[in-house]
Amino acid sequence: MSRIGLKPITVPGNVTVTVENAEVTVKGPKGELRQPIARELTINQEDGKLTVERPNNQRRNRSQHGLVRTLINNMIVGVTEGHAKALEIHGVGYRAAAEGQAINMNIGYSHPVRVVAPTGVNFEVKADDKSRVTTITVSGIDKALVGQVAADIRKVRKPDPYKGKGVRYKGEVIKLRQGKRAGK
């Protein structure tokens, strides 16, 4: 039995949820999101709560039950509060600058790397001169898109296992390797 799938989803008053032709549409103050769902599942809405139900215990229905409930919950959170991922750039001379809907990063290559934000995603860049760490905040209403853009930015220069330089998620701990040892 899916424990997550059985939990009801609380729908705020300023959010409308409609289900048509196996597609869920969520409208809120920050925008609108659409998500296709499995046709076998049914979504009931009553008294400001959504419940996802499955017709039987077939393997496919069980696997989709918790997934659909989580996707709908993420959509509701996205259109009310939004989602954000923070990245940090560590390294001497490594920096980033926002230019409209894109960021330019100087991170150890012979050329600056430009990352353009897709529709629905915003970048915010803050540089801390004291600790020499630049923070990039990726925000938007679609959780999957925000996470994918943050992963793509991190992929440009992954953290070095020897010095720790590169782009990492905020709070990510990099276990540094020892490197070569001189003599014994």
The per-residue DSSP string of 45-73 comes to EETTEEEEE-SS--HHHHHHHHHHHHHHH
45 strand-pairing partners: 50
Q: How confident is the model at residue 182 (pLDDT cuts 50, 70, 90)?
A: low
Q: In CATH, what is the architecture of 3-80?
A: Alpha-Beta Complex (3.90)
Residue 20 CB partners (closer than 8 Å, separation 6+) = none
d(CA 169, CA 150): 8
Who has greater pLDDT, 183 or 100?
Answer: 100
List, for residues 30-84, the tens digit of each pLDDT value.
999 999 999 999 999 999 899 999 999 999 999 899 999 999 999 999 999 999 9
pLDDT tens digits, one per residue of 87-141: 999 998 899 999 989 999 999 999 999 999 999 999 999 988 777 899 999 999 9
pLDDT number for residue 1: 57
What is the structure's pLDDT at 184? 60
How many helical (H) and strand (E) elements, i.e. helices and strands, does the chain have? Answer: 3, 13
Give backbone dihedrals phi and psi of 75, rounded to 5 degrees, phi first: -65, -40
Residues in CB range of 171: below 8 A, 6 or more apart: none
Torsion angle of alpha carbons 93, 98, 103, 108, nearest 10°? 0
CB count, 10 Å around CB of 181?
6
pLDDT digits (tens, 9 = 90+) for 16-27: 999 998 999 999
3-80 and 83-169: identical CATH topology: yes
pTM comes to 0.89
Residues 107 and 93 sit within 8 Å (Cβ to Cβ)? no
Q: What is the CATH number of domain 83-169?
A: 3.90.930.12
Instruction: Indicate the domain borders of the chain.
Output: 3-80, 83-169
What does the alpha-carbon distance between residue 24 and residue 60 come to, in Å, rounded to a whole number?
19
